Each structure stands twice: as structure tokens, then as C-alpha cells.
Amino acid sequence: MNRSVTLYYLMVFIFISLSMISCKNELPTVVTSIITDITPYTALGGGDVNTEGSAMVIERGVCWSQTSNPDILGIRTLDGSGAGPFESKLANLSPNTTYHVRAYASNSAGTAYGNEVTFTTGSNNNLSHKRIIADHSIVDDFVRIPQRYIDEVKKMLVFIPGMSHGYGYFRGAELLEQLDPRFQVSLWINTPPPRPSQEGLRLGRIELARENFYTLQSGIEAYKDYISTASRADNPYHAIWFGWSYQSTWENAPGGGIDPVYNVRWAGSSKNGPDGNLRWGLDSEDQILTGNSVSMNTYIQAMEQYIDYCAKNSIPTTMVFSNGVVDGNESSENGFQRELKNQHIRNYVGEREEIVFIDYADILVHNNAGEKYVVHWNDKGTLRPHQQIHPDNLKDYNESWEVIAGEKDTVEDHIGEVGALRLAKAMWWMLARIAGWDGVSN
């Protein structure tokens, strides 16, 4: 064999060897999930191992610290092995503290890290009766409400302004009464609210400039006057919250500038807003991306106005924070940015000492077995997880309370009877807490 042929085969051998070495040293790829279920001491995170690299992922989880770029040399969780999504419980946190989190995945080639996310823990007062959070974790606790507090809720007048999704509370309340006659309800829709009674929860709404509940100051003033008028007429509302619909996602698709923190474009509708019907983001800094002064903080500021107004005028109305819907826009940028908006409300609520919050989104992304439904948006090859309504909550019941395929509702709330009933159970629990129940005593 001549020298040139020998040299050729030697170069081929070296090339193949280097390629094999390279292939044997590929790290996994992993994405960090948004942080949810935040309390003063715990939070829920996780990630998704998109690819395992050149070898099986033998360890995965999240790591966190109070400084940027946390790694596995510090605090971390161990959450199994292999590819796919996983959840992580962050524990032993400190109240009112900002943390940085990264998901990680390790194989024989080393450890890879996902994108970094941050969150802030809440105040150390979760046991205060003035801080009430109705989410998926309390849905089944409606059966523990003492009869005396059920009777107190039956004296209440509740107003849920908004659009079609809000009907889920109404349909759910009807179903709960059918399931358990103790939870009686009297619905009023687009009629004057009924006078005081002890026969059943008076639950309803009137057509009063829907989005103006938060987008426009003149609309906020109109709602204040309406609340005040009811109180002066000796028929005050005991609780009011906004029934979100598709405001986070519809009419204006994701567009504008890319948010440098979340690497996402914003979407949504701000009908009757001061700048018109435009997409919107989380805070005032997003105006440069959307051209819209309306943001999720606009809603938060409106709620604070209502709370202050009721307090200063001795109006006995509890203003309840709520968040948005989780149906539609599955596995898309629109669905992902919608979850960021829902989580923004949770983050704010977690920092407030005295607040009432019904987590519509969290109640519906979990099914009756407690399973959370998570899907993925393929962001140019990177799979980014976001929560979506659980398919079980799109189903209905038959006369024997067996779950069946969902059917078209007479009044469309975009969810099934299974989901609507979950909302009603959480609502009754929350209203009993507002009435004075500590959530523990029978």
C-alpha cells in the first residue's frame, strides 16, 4: 500500500474517531418551567428535558439561589431521570425573597441548564383569615364547610361582571345545588339584583361595560358608583370579581417587540382602553413593545382602587382578585404568553398581606384527580411548557353524575360541566371564608 493511500485511511480513521467522541459527549437540552403555587416557604417549578444528548439523562431537577446562574453545587431537587416534563417542589424558602431558578439535566457527558426564571415568595401570613386563596388545592374542601357558614353564604349577593367565561360560575352553582341541595343558589342575569334573602346565594351580573371594569378610568368610576348605590339601597354586594374571558389572547395576535425577560411577544384585546384595542403585556415597561398603556398592572391598579374606595366609604363589599382563562391557543406562543399573565396575578397576590383571590386558571388546569395538564409551544425548536385546561374539565355529567363527552351549552361558558362544578365548589369555599369560616373548623 503506497503512502498516499495509507495517509487517506489514517485521516478517515481520525475523522470517524473524532466524530464518535463528539457524539459521545453531547449534553442534554432542558427548558425551565414558570414558577407557580408560590407561598412564603414553598413553590412549584420544574422543566422539560427535550433531548437526552449522547446518553441517558441520569438526573434532573431544578437548582435555585438568591443570585443569578444557580447550579447543582448549590441547592437543588432530584426529580427522576430520562426525557420529558417533570415537576419540582422548592422548599425551605424565605418569605419576601427573590429567587433565581434553572432546570438542569445530567448525563455521562455532564450537566446542562435551562433558561433562568425568577420569582418572589409571599409574606409570612398565609394563615391570616384576611388572606384567602381559592385554587385547585381547596376544591374538595367544600364538603367541610360548616352548615352555619353555608347559611351565611346563602345570605350573600355576589356580582361577577365580565363576558361568557364568567357563566361557568353560574352553571357550576346550579350543578352544585343539584349535587347537594344544601348549596342553594338564586341566579339573576341582566335583571336588577334580588333583595336580601336567606333562601340561596344570589349570584349574577348585569350588562355594565365589561372591559371598562379596569381598562378605562371613567369605567372604573361608573362601577364605583354602581357599588355605592347598591350599598346605599341597603342591598350591598358581599363580593365582586371580574370574570375574565379571552382578553389575554384574542383580536390581536402575538406581535410587536419581543419581551427581553420572557422572550415572547404579547397579544390580547384592550377594548375601550385609552389607546384603543391593542395587544398588551404585564406592566408599564411593556408599552414600548405594544404601544398600549394598558397592561395586567392596569387591572391590578383598578382592583386596588375598588378596595380603597370600599374601605373609605364603609362599603361592605369584598373585591376579589381573579385571573384569566386557559382554554384555546393550546401549544402556541399565545397560550404561553397567556400563562405569563395569569402567573403575574399570582405573583402579585403572593406579596399582599390582605387579599382574596380565586385562581380560575389553576382550578381548571387540574382535574378531579389533582393532575395538572401541561402542553408545549415549539419556539423555533425549543419546547416551552405552559398550562392548559385539563381535557377532563371540558366534559359533562349525565343524570347519574357519570362523566360524559362535552355537549354544547345553552349559555356558552367554553368549558364543560366538570370544570364548571369545580369552579362552584371553590367559589363556595371562598365565600364561606369571606363569611368568617377559618377553613379548618367543622
382-to-36, 104, 318 alpha-carbon distances in Å: 21, 15, 43
User: What is the pLDDT, as a whole number, of residue 14?
Assistant: 52
User: What is the pLDDT, as a whole number, of residue 8?
Assistant: 53
SS (H, E, C) 133-200: EECHHHHHHHHHCCHHHHHHHCCCEEECCECHHHHHHHHHHHHHHHHCCCCCEEEEECCCCCCCCCCC
Count of beta carbons in the 10 Å neighbourhood of residue 384: 24
Question: What pLDDT digit, counting tens, does each position of 181-237 carry?
Answer: 999 999 999 899 999 999 999 999 987 656 689 998 999 999 999 999 999 999 999
Spatial CB neighbours of 80, under 8 Å, sequence gap ≥ 6: 60, 86
How far, in Å, CA of 361 to CA of 84, rounded? 23
Question: What pLDDT digit, counting tens, does each position of 298-328 carry?
Answer: 999 999 999 999 999 999 999 999 999 999 9
How far, in Å, CA of 391 to CA of 419, rounded? 9
pTM to 2 decimal places: 0.77
For the chain, give the mean pLDDT. Answer: 90
Amino acid identity of residue 426, one-letter, is A
Question: For residue 369, what is its C-alpha cell?
Answer: 384527580
- Full set of structural domains in the chain with CATH: 29-120 (2.60.40.10), 131-434 (no CATH)
Tell me: pLDDT of 21 over 50. no
How far, in Å, CA of 332 to CA of 322, rounded? 23
C-beta separation of 212 from 298 below 8 A: no
